[in-house]
Amino acid sequence: MEVIPLPRRKKGWRTWQKVSLIVTLVLGFIVVGGLLFLNSWINRSLPQVEGEVAINGLHASVEVIRDANGVPHIKAENEWDLYRAQGFIQAQDRLFQMDMARRQASGQLSEVVGSATVTQDKYFRALGLRRAAQKSYEAYSQESKEILQAYADGVNAYITQAEENNRLPVEFTLMGNSPEPWTPLDSLTIGKYMAFDLGGHWERQAFHYYLLQTLPKEKALELFSTYPEQAPTIIQEAEIDVASLLQQAVIPHSYNGSNNWVVSGEKTASGKPLLADDPHLGLATPSIWYEMHLSSPEQNVSGVIFAGVPGIILGHNDSIAWGVTNTGPDVQQLYIEKRHPDQPNEFLFEGEYEEAAVIEEPIKVKGEGTVAYEVMETRHGPIISQFAEASGEEAVLSLRWTALDATAELEAIIEMNKATNWNQFERALEKFEVPAQNFVFASQDGTIAYKANGKIPIYSNGDDALLPLEGWKAENEWDGYIPWDELPRVVNPDKGYIATANNKVVGEDYPYHISNNWAQPYRYKRIAQVLEQGDDFTAAEMKNLQMDQHNLQGEEFVPIFLEHVDQGALSDEEQKAIAILKEWNYVDAVDGAAPLIFHTWMQTFSKQLYEEDIPEEMIKLFNGRAQTTDELIRQAHRGEEVIWIEEQGGLRQALTIALEETVAMLSEQYGSDATKWKWGDYHQVSFEHPLSSVSYLERFFNPKDPIPVGGSKVTVMAAAYEEDTGIVDHGASWRFVADTADLTQASHTVSPGQAGHFRSEWYHNQRDQWVTGEYHQTKVKQYEGSVLMLQPKE
């Protein structure tokens, strides 16, 4: 057999092979080295949680123990060191969030973002939250100013150390900026922003005004938040194009609300009161809340606070526990101001023109210099329509709002933290003026109590709060505020519990107007239903109630829908959807098809009701749209004439068309077999980081896919969502349950986690727990974890 020799490789080929190997190895080392360097650089900004750190200004050593859930337990020998340490620790975990929060509230985002946020900055400059914070600071006691400064010193100590050691959060590098020093004014401005977020109802006043401008009067009045006894008329002397002036306004989310309740010891297994609270705010990364435990000789308090603010705003101490929901009173009033024909800075009042304050608010824009901008404030407040281009030559809109006054909420918080009984706690509430909140209270002495607390203006007629008022008439001025000792209040009621869920809190016999806008009643009704039926409640049952997904809206409206829909005109697919609804147990379960059908049917019905007459830019001002739609359906079901529904061919035709569209849409998205549809295929939560919208950053800041979740905006387990995507973006931002029989601990969920750093083990560790209803116990005695000692700097 002949052997054929292999061709000999040329010498040059071998040389090239060696060179290629060497180049590959070198490139590999460079890539690996680069990744290791990048990893090391990113990890450098993780908070130091063990060892020692020297801080300027400390009087004595401060112990910081972070437990298994990343909750810092700060123990100091005096209050000033306590708040200085609190500022340092918050900044370790949340500095970027704190910086963005103060910038947003102050109208300074454009300095780091660029021209994209100039309009938003103009709005917040016009609104003047930072100016209001400055007024408030002047009203604080010297002791409170020292607390604010101690907190700011702690934040600045961290900023200085992070800059010196190249340990600033990576977001600052990505944004190309460094944080400015923290000031007491920054903390107060964030507090004012939270009052803005919980807001009032000026947008509904503007919406009512728009309706009267554009629609027949009776049709317009059907969408008023309450049907006025004396139907108002459009103001003829000075009309304003509301749609043009306010289309760029920043509107808080309409679902900002909450649940809370307290149960008397007569109805609990421990014989002591139980308290539960879950504020409903935006769901994002990091959480709006930061959980902490603060201990000094003067106090031992645990709970949550907004990043950027000292103290504990919600939680418990050794003797008491408390929680809040939004009262939602009419604390914002729009005024139509008549401008002098020749003097643009003067406005009419009682026959004479008054000069408005003109305030220079130059806006720095990243990469583009500075935009000259000025705002005006009349006797009522800032002109909020001025930031729009078509700002009105003869008339503008100004805003009177309690939060723009000097208020001292921080002093209230500090006193609340130290209170040991209801009398002390209620006295502290006298200083908590904005935002108006429903406080519930429980103590070890057996007391349960409630107060709708805050600065609430007196209207001579509740109908006055439905529309913008003529700013040139003295009769339209607020007539003072509801006296603090006459605010709605309940202590130890016979029924053994108190609950609120942004529902109407007063009866018709209450002498003052509170609000024309209340949340849909379903969450409150479900809470009351459960608490009425049971005794010997435990903390575990309170957690179950916070996770309750029973849909009382569906229970009310599905029978109405089935009664009126034209079932004889439905296709086989639509009949299947009806059959699923007939078998529904009215639980918004993640795996159920019925919740998806019902909520989509309701959304589709609502959309077709309004889309022809109300443009998209005005729909965002339709605060309380869901409540209004519910009431229109009830009225039509009772046989009353409802113009909006009659124009759709009546309830029967409108519901039938909406169902047809619902089934067609769901079939296209989820397949033709309705029995396989799932609420969780649409309804999902992701806790998005603000920088995750940048595609290459998404996998870092939001590393996991959205999670299917049950509940909805009408269930006790609050999970409101964007209708076009189904993404849950508002709900229980913190869940809290305390049994006053043992206040050495309490149950919490702070989602998605404590940390702001995406490499931290506490970044998204509570994300799944939010969905499944798992809680962690935070102890205020005998807790363990990593120990960091903050030492005075020599």
H-run or E-run covering 299: strand 299-306
CA distance 295 to 299: 6
Is 747 tagged catalytic? Answer: no
Determine how β-strand 745-750 pairs with β-strand 734-739: antiparallel
Tell me if 780 sits within 8 A of 745, measured CB to CB: yes
Distances (CA, A) of 730 to 121, 578, 678: 24, 29, 20
Summarize the annotated binding site for Ca(2+) as residue ranges. Answer: 330
- Compute the Cα dihedral for 257, 524, 719, 582 and give only its sign: negative
CA distance 507 to 490: 13
CA distance 341 to 363: 29
Candidates 110, 136, 258, 295; catalytic one: 258
Residue 397 is classified by DSSP as E
Secondary structure (3-state) at 495: coil
Q: Within its chain, how far is the Cα of 549 from the centroid?
A: 21
CA distance 343 to 48: 59
Summarize the annotated binding site as residue ranges. Answer: 330
Q: What is the DSSP string of 757-794?
A: STTSTTSSTTHHHHHHT--EEEESSS---EEEEEEE--
Q: Shortest CA distance to 361 belongs to which of 100, 107, 103, 101?
A: 107
SS3 readout for 555-617 = HHHHHHHHHHCCHHHCCHHHHHHHHHHHCCCCECCCCCCHHHHHHHHHHHHHHHHHCCCCCHH
| End-to-end Cα separation, the chain, in angstroms | 91
Tokens of 300: 């031992």
Report H helices in 591-685: 594-610, 616-619, 625-637, 643-646, 651-670, 679-682
Tokens of 377: 């404030």
Catalytic residues: 258
